[in-house]
Chain A
Amino acid sequence: MKRLFFRSPLRPSCAGLRAHSAAILTLLFFVMVITSLPAFAGLGEDATSISADQTRLRGTLRTTKSEGYTVHEIDSASGTAVREYVSASGKVFAIAWQGPWPPNMRQVLATYFDQYKQALPATQHAGRRPVLIQQPGLVVQAGGHMRSFAGRAYIPAMLPQGISAEAIR
């Protein structure tokens, strides 16, 4: 199953047969585009398709190389920037985001999403607050408010030597 990193492109609503045909064509177009692209890499996955995602998202891609890792940043049309931290072996060991709305968290966290979701409900001392999940295999920190969100997620054991968690942003 191919993953969409950001939510799918806006589908036009349709009224009437003519609009309906147009919608089917549009849908076909998106299906073709989506299936012809490799998946975006989420946390812990292989980074394989970053430039293709950038094309589909009509965003800009910036790549910064540091010793031991590479940062790929995609700025989406909706204003949210996502940075993928990729190790020398090609694995995404951290992801950070910032923008008016959060990215699709299942796609950011990939196979770690269920672990994240299970860790979320903190029934003790209830209240609305930033997310802080600190487990041996997964750290997620996320905060902000309506129209301004930021966060990061990383796998502690996969952090390359020389990069501190504080540097992921």
Chain B
Amino acid sequence: MRRANTTRANMIHGNAIALVMSCATLLFGLGCGGSGGSSSQHTTITTTGSNVQPITVNAGPDGNYTNGAFTSVTVCVPGSSTCQTIDDVLVDTGSSGLRILSSVLTIALPQQKASDGNSIVECLPFVSGYTWGPVQSADVKISGESASSVPVQVLSDTDFPVPSACSDQGTSQDTLSALGANGLLGVGNFVQDCGGACVSTGADNPELYYECPSSGCVVTAESLASQVVNPVALFAADNNGVILELPAVSSPAASLTGSMVFGIGTQSNNGLNGASVYTTDDFGNFTTTYNNQSYNQSFLDSGSNGLYFLTSGATGIAVCPDAPFFYCPPSTQNLSATNEGTNGTSGAVSFSVANADDLFNDNPNAFVFVNLAGPNSLAGFDWGLPFFYGRNVYTAIGGKSTPGGTGPYWAY
């Protein structure tokens, strides 16, 4: 009898602890600015200002993109009023540089030439393939911001023949159906897409830039100033980074609108506002800890269309039978991980993994899914666009000073 009472008392005590812990988790989740969009009390969307550009998450120009944030970019022949506004350009914090499909470009931009007069063309590897095409020069205008003579990549497999070393990377991303967008607006942590390695004439050059005489394209060294560049870094003002502001998502939706705000702490509408700064390493990564394992090649990337982490073998979550690149748990999993910057700042992130097959089957007209997730390589967590729902996410450019310190960093 006495023993039974003790047991009962322990059970009550245990339940009380569990209740307190649940409340703490809930409060902590709210304090962190949202758990995959389920709570977003701290998110405000800046909608006006000369440094504010609307962004929309929808199916994109090919009508089938899931979790893609699109915007418009105006490009002009440098120094002229010959301009074109390109819609449906994907906003990508995971890369740097503006890339436009040749098939949607109707104005002729001047070609970048090497000192010997040959055209400069780039092969940029992405995870599943490459973009290939000439480097051309444009004045770039977004919202009230502008940058002059920006090296951009025009994506085309036909203007210059694709070298085998480039096509060896996988599939071409140079068509609307492959890219799912009219272009990529890379507003990531780096100024240039390649950086110092591509300036080198030695064996450490990763061979991204080519010059193309009529006899065929050969690898060349490319100066920093000539490389394809994050246009934000060349803006006359508000050039130290961007904020993506998207509202929370509680259920699958056809579209979602938010803002891309240029500059960090340069105007009254782009202060850090209490966001925590997570600095990255030289490669643009920080550490995510999940189930007591730390993964130091984790990153935030608006250009990834889900929450991609670990593998089915490591998480115990089944992949979908017909689409092994998504997770399909029998019921929605509510999970937590901790992000830590190289500056030591750390914070918990709550997120959910739903059954992707059910999401798509039950919501055939939706393209916004906060709990779409899938496996990654072992390298770590790829916090894609769903992470951005219900948060203001700051991406600071490397070497640029901000009120939160010098980039590169993310803050949220």
Contact = CB atoms under 8 A, between A and B. Distances in A.
B65 A78 contact: no
A37 to B, nearest CB: 15
Which of A10, A121, A141, A149 is the most central at the interface, judged by chain B CB atoms within 10 Å of its CB?
Answer: A10
A104 B128 CA distance: 12
B394 to A, nearest CB: 17
B262 interface: no
Interface string A68-90: 00000000111100000000000
Contact of A142 (B92, B116, B127): B127
Interface stretch (B36-44, B150-158, B205-213, B338-346): B205-213
A166 interface: yes
Interface stretch (B135-143, B185-193, B253-261): B185-193
Given A10-B205, A145-B299, 10 more contacts: A10-B221, A11-B219, A79-B204, A100-B283, A106-B164, A129-B304, A134-B324, A141-B311, A142-B377, A149-B127
B378 interface: yes
A117 B325 contact: no
B378 A141 contact: yes
Interface string B274-287: 00000000011100
B128 A120 contact: yes
B330 interface: no
Contact of A105 (B169, B284, B313): B169
B313 A106 contact: no
A152 B377 contact: yes
Q: Is the interface of B mostly helix, strand, loop or mixed?
A: loop
B410 to A, nearest CB: 13
Given A7-B165, A100-B283, A117 B170 contact: yes
A66 B118 CA distance: 51
Which of A105, A120, A134 is the most central at the interface, judged by chain B CB atoms within 10 Å of its CB?
Answer: A105
B206 A78 contact: yes
A57 B203 CA distance: 8
Nearest to A16: B116
B114 interface: yes
Contacts of B211: 13
B96 interface: yes
B308 A120 contact: no
Contacts of A117: 170-171
A13 B222 CA distance: 11
A150 B360 CA distance: 29
Given A102-B169, A105-B168, A107-B168, A10 B382 contact: no
A147 B305 contact: no
A61 to B, nearest CB: 15
Nearest to A120: B171
Nearest to B326: A125
Contacts of B306: 127, 129
Q: Is the interface of A mostly helix, strand, loop or mixed?
A: loop
A130 B125 contact: no
A34 interface: no
A54 B199 CA distance: 24
A159 interface: no
Contacts of B169: 102, 104-105
A94 to B, nearest CB: 12
Interface in A48-77: 57-58, 76-77
9 interchain residue pairs of minimum CB distance: A127-B305, A106-B168, A150-B379, A143-B377, A77-B203, A145-B94, A148-B283, A132-B325, A146-B95
Given A7-B207, A129-B305, A146-B190, A13 B118 contact: yes
Contact of A130 (B171, B203, B356, B375): B375
A165 interface: yes
B378 A150 contact: yes
A15 interface: yes
A105 B193 CA distance: 20
27 contacts: A8-B165, A8-B207, A10-B219, A11-B218, A12-B201, A13-B118, A14-B116, A77-B203, A78-B205, A98-B297, A98-B379, A101-B206, A116-B170, A117-B170, A121-B178, A127-B65, A128-B126, A129-B304, A129-B306, A129-B325, A134-B324, A141-B377, A143-B308, A145-B127, A147-B283, A148-B299, A166-B378
B323 interface: yes
B377 A151 contact: yes
B355 interface: no
A123 B171 CA distance: 13
B61 to A, nearest CB: 11
A49 B60 CA distance: 47
B220 A13 contact: yes
B78 interface: no
Given A13-B218, A141-B377, A146-B284, A100 B127 contact: no
A131 B169 CA distance: 12
A164 B319 CA distance: 18
A162 B170 CA distance: 32
Nearest to A133: B324
B374 interface: yes
B128 A131 contact: yes
Contacts of B64: 123-126
B67 interface: yes
Contacts of B104: none
A105 B166 CA distance: 10
Contact of A143 (B118, B171, B221, B382): B382
